[in-house]
Amino acid sequence: MPEENPVVENFAIVVDWSDAAGVPITHVNQFVAQPGPPTLEGGPDGIYLLLGSIPPPLIPRDTEGQRRAIETLKATGLKVDIHGRFHMSRARLEELIQVLQTTADTYDAAVERMAQDRSETEEG
């Protein structure tokens, strides 16, 4: 008689990210992250993340043009171009935070190595 609840061992699966090469790279400089609406249990329904960008506003060089542009900005604000809306669990948010922190650490280490190399070149 077959076992009703067989034990499944953990195993690794290779994931294929090759389609990323066909997706355009989009600059983002605006971010919103917020908990979802409450569920019947009372906790939030995951995390909602929005990514977008605001291009720098065109400010003319002449004084009067600058004044008008700034007044318009004060009155209307700047519209964010939304590039993506995402929903994830709290656990996936933690994974994203770890990936971003690792990436930031790698970036900072590369910049530090570059600065050290320049310093050694200038001294030598």
Parallel, antiparallel or unpaired: strands 47-53 and 30-35:
antiparallel
For residue range 90-117, list pLDDT tens digits in order. Answer: 999 999 999 999 999 999 999 999 999 8
- Residue of 13, 35, 26, 20 whose CA lies nearest to 93: 35
Residue identified by tokens 């990323």 is 20
> Phi and psi dihedrals of 103, rounded to 5?
-65, -40
How many beta carbons lie within 10 A of that of residue 67, not counting itself? 11
Q: Lowest-confidence range among 2-11, 15-24, 57-66, 105-114?
A: 2-11
Q: Count of residues for the chain? A: 124
Please report, for the chain, the start and end positions of each structural domain, with discontinuous segments joined by +.
25-88, 90-124
The pTM for the full model equals 0.76
Query: When comparing pLDDT for 100 and 6, which is higher?
Result: 100
**Over residues 27-37, mean pLDDT:** 98
How many beta carbons lie within 10 A of that of residue 47, not counting itself? 19
